[in-house]
Structure 1
Amino acid sequence: MDSPLLENIDNSCSNVEEEKTPNTVVKRFGFESKKLWKIAGPAIVTSICQYSLGALTQTFAGLVGDLDLAAVSVENSVIAGLAFGVMLGMGSALETLCGQAYGAGQIRMLGVYMQRSWVILFITALILLPLYIWSPPILRLAGQTAEISDAAGKFAVWMIPQLFAYAINFPIVKFLQAQRKVLVMLWISVVVLVLHTFFSWLVIFKLGWGLIGAAVTLNTSWWVIVIAQLLYIFITKSDGAWSGFTWLAFSDLFGFVKLSLASAVMLCLEFWYLMILVVITGRLENPLIPVDAISICMNINGWDAMIAIGFNAAISVRVSNELGAGDFKAAKFSVWVVSITSVSIGVVVMIGVLLTKDYFPYLFTTSVPVANETTRLSALLAVTVLLNSLQPVLSGVAVGAGWQSLVAYINIVCYYLVGLPAGIILGFKLGLGAEGIWSGMIAGIVLQTTILIIVTSIRNWKKEAEEAESRVRKWGGAISYDQ
């Protein structure tokens, strides 16, 4: 039980915050925006830096040759992409639990939750190992050419250490985000990105290590991030959220696994969706140029998605914290603020893509045919970045509120029963190629986003706060707050 002194301090802080909260909608919007940007700003920079590790490796590989670009692109998009989706999804259970526990004042449970997630994600990494070891036949079975599959498979085996870095990193990220300790992740990621850029140039170009050099630098960069974040947590104790290793990490694992699996299914269905675009494109005739072009577009889309992922993290923290504290009105208002902000940025990025469509491909390739094909696909890329400015935000709301299972069903229907079949029909049956495949899959994103908007709008937020209270009691002890 928390001490009366701590409860009084918490209540006093809450009252002060309420007194400072503006009354008009415009002022409330600005007040909430400040809260969101304190989390979203550093989270966006962190996400961009960490995404850029793989993207820069892909860029350096593309400047070496088309096959190297295809190998790194396919490994990043398919093998590592699949593993990234699983690990991030499993780790995202902490967004619900840590966020709501933090809002409810159950700080001591955050470290226990993180350790439980480490146990689960380490086992998950072991299960995913065959995907890396036998990636060439898996990629050929998925439709990639033998040349691309063998090159990507060689790179995948060298990237196994990254898989285990994911297992430790994602729980750490959710643990720190729930406490709004995002600046430390920002600085670590920025420093590592600078070092990664230099050593990638040195190893890949100057020393001529090629794909092996790319794998060594990428693995090292991810592990430096993990070790630096762990040192921060162990040294600072994270204001009481970390109290050392405990056997409690192995208790209640079944229920924790259930929530982790629900989170994983929800996020994997989203994360893999555009990844599948690269795989399907590999089944076209003469796929090397379309695969390279789509990979470049997915690279740009990935960088833009990091902005939305930053807002995803911010709204997940805000919603889970406010629901954990019982303030469902603040949680609902946060959703509107972050949605408007993220979509506004998406419009700007969309315009930027269209204005630079003849230029940005040459940042990734020296091949004129690949650049021309990328330019042809730029209109679809522009539409995708606009949609992806809102869709991850709504997913963040779902994670913060604990709706993972519901959204998983929505994703199955929209993405895999509507969007994917539509893409296959347009791309292969109607002969529209990569443009047809992508267009059909965009239809799935539109449908999913529309449904999530409706679900978020009609949800009973007071009931969500009550369910958050029940969830915190189940996982970390009783709390109390005024209704």
Structure 2
Amino acid sequence: MGSAATDKLLPESGKEEEEEEEKQLGKRLWVESKKLWIVAGPATLTRASMFGVFIISQAFTGHLGNTEMAALSVVFQLLTRFSIGILMGMSSGLETLCGQAYGAKQYHMLGIYLQRSWLVETAVFLLLIPIFIFSAPIFRLLGQTEEISLMANVISLWYIPIIFSYVFLYTLQMYLQTQSKNMIITWLSAVTLILHGFCSWILVDKLGLGIPGVMISMNIASWVPIVGQLIFVFYGGCPQTWTGFSLHAFAELWPVFKLSISSGVMLCLELWYNSMLILFTGHTQDAQIIIDALSICLNINGWELMFSFGFLAAASVRVSNELGRGSAKAAIFAIKVVVATSITVEAVLWILVLAFRHIVSYIFSSSVEVADEFSDLSLLLAFTLILNSIQPVLSGVAVGAGWQVIVAYVNIICYYCIGLPIGLLLYYVGHLDVKGIWIGMIIGTFIQTFVLLYYVYKTDWDKQVAIAKERVNRWVLPAPDEKENDSSI
């Protein structure tokens, strides 16, 4: 009897344990998802706001004339994206340092890392200035007309203060989001977007200032959020991590420079790779129709990338925080949750694109030819969206762990030694035009994603914890209160 009773109870006990494990897993998923969206939500909205500022500027410029519109687009697509790639990429090096230091509770180091990044990126910005001052010859060399080149040169000069603002914009974003304090960025971005629309209306439509009016409004929109973030940081928003300006910021600049440059190269290789489609589209037959259809694809992909960059930021923050805290298992769990969440969101977009591929283009164009071309390209767009659900997350993991140099090499091989040559082969030999280039790019991105997935899977995360601890300890300085205690002794 006793034995039978015991046998009967054993399955129930096992079932209770399974239920308890499921509850614990559900609780962990809920907690991790909240941490993820605290970073990903504001990061997504912030980038959408920044993209919105350019869209508003483009709309007002379009009413001034075709030359002004073309000049603004050329400056943005070539010079500005080039600069953004460098400065935003370099700022991701700060994300590695701040994220791991915050996880290790070395809070006072975040402010010092921030100041060091300001110094390093300001030096790089000074090297970029001549490109904007003498941009007209560059545009002529790239085949632009004299009229567009001269107008683009005028816009480029107005862009110099905006480019300088990126030194502070991206570093402050990385600094704040590693502490999960980026809601202030979101609110300021929303205010900036509204302010930019109002200022553009006053300066362009009411005062008739033309291009200077658009650029003055863009400069205001660039600096308002920075001033707001600096006030937040300096006046009590980050009491643990901002302890004032320090002369220590001028020390250890070379290691920061190396990490920042490797981060910049990693991101630039990705941004420039995605610009290849635009470069080759103008040489195809029926270029105007293809350009219009491709522009719709790139607009959809651009808005979708807002989510991807949000998940990239979330992956970076969560991984760097957990490595700095010393928890390899938590870092692995965070990666799984971010990847699963990103795939779920992107899968919804993937289904929508395929389901409405015959309708979506009419939002942007009334041309039947453009609609047919878009429908033809939509399958490639769908594959791109799926890859965007994984690849940026893995880049975020790389930033969080400090693998920027490794990923830069992977990007060079997969993108430029495999993907681009295959695309050119399909373009010239296979006569697939833009689709050939795009297929090659997808192949390169797929291989890069597979390599990074394998690398993440094979990584010894306990070893990564030790590396993160060594990095934090190597650069750590005594906290201000510790110095006071030492001096009193």
> Shared topology, TM-score over 0.5?
yes
Cα distance 1:25–1:284, how it changes in 2: closer, same or farther (>3 A)? Answer: same
d(CA) in 2 for partners of 1:364 and 1:117? 41
d(CA) in 2 for partners of 1:230 and 1:338? 30
- Alpha carbons 1:192, 1:221 under 8 Å: kept: yes
Comparing 426-435 and 234-243, the one that deviates more? 426-435
Q: Superposition pairs for residues 54-69 of structure 1, below 5 Å? A: 54-61=54-61, 68-69=68-69
Cα distance 1:423–1:220, how it changes in 2: closer, same or farther (>3 A)? Answer: farther
d(CA) in 2 for partners of 1:461 and 1:407? 17
Q: 1:444 — aligned with what?
A: 444
Q: By how many angstroms is 1:254 displaced? A: 0.8
- Alpha carbons 1:88, 1:264 under 8 Å: kept: yes
Q: 2:180 — aligned with what?
A: 180
- Over the aligned positions, Cα root-mean-square deviation in angstroms equals 2.8
Q: Cα deviation per residue 1:310-332 (whole Å; 9 max; x = unaligned)?
A: 11111111111110010010001
Cα distance 1:395–1:68, how it changes in 2: closer, same or farther (>3 A)? Answer: same
Q: By how many angstroms is 1:134 displaced? A: 3.0
Comparing 164-173 and 228-237, the one that deviates more? 228-237
AA aligned to 1:90 is M
Cα distance 1:265–1:68, how it changes in 2: closer, same or farther (>3 A)? Answer: same
d(CA) in 1 for partners of 2:252 and 2:182? 28
d(CA) in 1 for partners of 2:437 and 2:65? 26
Give the 3-state SS of the residue equivalent to 1:180 in structure 2.
coil
Q: 1:415 — aligned with what?
A: 415
Cα distance 1:26–1:65, how it changes in 2: closer, same or farther (>3 A)? Answer: farther
Q: By how many angstroms is 1:335 displaced? A: 0.3
Cα distance 1:345–1:282, how it changes in 2: closer, same or farther (>3 A)? Answer: same
AA aligned to 1:36 is L
Q: By how many angstroms is 1:110 displaced? A: 0.7
Comparing 153-162 and 124-133, the one that deviates more? 153-162
d(CA) in 1 for partners of 2:200 and 2:428? 38
d(CA) in 2 for partners of 1:165 and 1:374? 37
Q: Superposition pairs for residues 189-200 of structure 1, below 5 Å? A: 189-200=189-200
Q: 1:476 — aligned with what?
A: 476
Q: 2:242 — aligned with what?
A: 242
Q: 2:78 — aligned with what?
A: 78
Comparing 184-193 and 434-443, the one that deviates more? 434-443
Q: Cα deviation per residue 1:154-194 (whole Å; 9 max; x = unaligned)?
A: 43332222100101111111110111101111111111112
Q: By how many angstroms is 1:203 displaced? A: 4.2
Q: 1:47 — aligned with what?
A: 47
Give the 3-state SS of the residue equivalent to 2:243 in structure 1.
coil
Q: 1:430 — aligned with what?
A: 430
Q: 1:133 — aligned with what?
A: 133
Q: Confirm or deny that 1:308 pairs with 2:308.
A: yes
Comparing 313-322 and 217-226, the one that deviates more? 217-226
Equivalenced residue count is: 460
Q: Cα deviation per residue 1:78-136 (whole Å; 9 max; x = unaligned)?
A: 21111000000111111110000001111111111111101111111111122223334
- Alpha carbons 2:281, 2:434 under 8 Å: kept: yes
Q: 1:458 — aligned with what?
A: 458
Structure 1: tracts of 5 or more residues without a match: 1-19
- Under a length normalisation based on structure 2, what TM-score does the superposition of the two structures give? 0.86
Q: Cα deviation per residue 1:38-59 (whole Å; 9 max; x = unaligned)?
A: 2212222122112222233334
- Alpha carbons 2:109, 2:477 under 8 Å: kept: no
Q: By how many angstroms is 1:398 displaced? A: 0.3
Comparing 245-254 and 200-209, the one that deviates more? 200-209
Give the 3-state SS of the residue equivalent to 1:159 in structure 2.
helix
Q: Superposition pairs for residues 376-395 of structure 1, below 5 Å? A: 376-395=376-395
- Alpha carbons 1:312, 1:394 under 8 Å: kept: yes
Q: Cα deviation per residue 1:268-291 (whole Å; 9 max; x = unaligned)?
A: 111221123223334446756644
d(CA) in 2 for partners of 1:150 and 1:354? 42
- Under a length normalisation based on structure 1, what TM-score does the superposition of the two structures give? 0.87
d(CA) in 2 for partners of 1:363 and 1:63? 20
Structure 2: tracts of 5 or more residues without a match: 1-19, 480-489
Cα distance 1:247–1:285, how it changes in 2: closer, same or farther (>3 A)? Answer: farther
Q: 2:269 — aligned with what?
A: 269
Q: Cα deviation per residue 1:390-414 (whole Å; 9 max; x = unaligned)?
A: 1111100000001111100000011
Comparing 199-208 and 323-332, the one that deviates more? 199-208
Give the 3-state SS of the residue equivalent to 1:239 in structure 2.
coil
Cα distance 1:354–1:450, how it changes in 2: closer, same or farther (>3 A)? Answer: same
Cα distance 1:389–1:59, how it changes in 2: closer, same or farther (>3 A)? Answer: farther
Q: 1:322 — aligned with what?
A: 322
AA aligned to 1:389 is S
Q: By how many angstroms is 1:343 displaced? A: 1.1
Larger Cα-atom Rg: 2
Runs of 4 or more off by more than 6 Å in structure 1?
Answer: 20-23, 365-372
